[in-house]
Amino acid sequence: PTGTTTIGARTEHLAIEKAANGHADGVVDWVEHLGDQNHLHVTVGAKKLVTLTDPDTPLAKGDRVTIRYRSPLYFGSDGHRLM
């Protein structure tokens, strides 16, 4: 929305999939197995992203991935959430 200065995204706001057609947003550094969930470590440009993923994720170290937002949170310059 107009006035957005920051986008917030929790695990449920991200769709991370293996890249197709040559386009990738990041690369999987590793998948940390923690029982009923996994921590997915991804490098996106010069930044690191760590999020949760299902225990049966098909992603593995070295996979190129696309990352898409699903209903993220938007914040204005005052730090308040925009609706």
3-state secondary structure of 13: helix
Query: For residue range 16-45, what is the model confidence (pLDDT) as tens digits?
Result: 999 998 899 999 999 999 888 899 999 999
Residue 57, token pair as written in the block? 């994720």
At position 38, the amino acid (one-letter code) is N
> In the 3-class helix/strand/coil scheme, how is 18-75 assigned residue by residue?
ECECCECCEEEEEEEECCCCEEEEEEECCEEEEEEECCCCCCCCCCEEEEEECCCEEE
pTM: 0.83
Q: Report the distance separating Cα 21 and Cα 56, nearest Å.
A: 24
Q: Is residue 37 one of the residues assigned to a domain?
A: yes
Q: Is residue 82 one of the residues assigned to a domain?
A: no
Question: Containing domain of residue 37, as a range?
Answer: 6-70
Q: Are 45 and 20 in contact (CB under 8 A)?
A: no
Q: Is residue 77 one of the residues assigned to a domain?
A: no
pLDDT band at 83 (very low <50, low <70, confident <90, very high): confident
Q: Domain total for the chain? A: 1
Q: Is residue 76 one of the residues assigned to a domain?
A: no
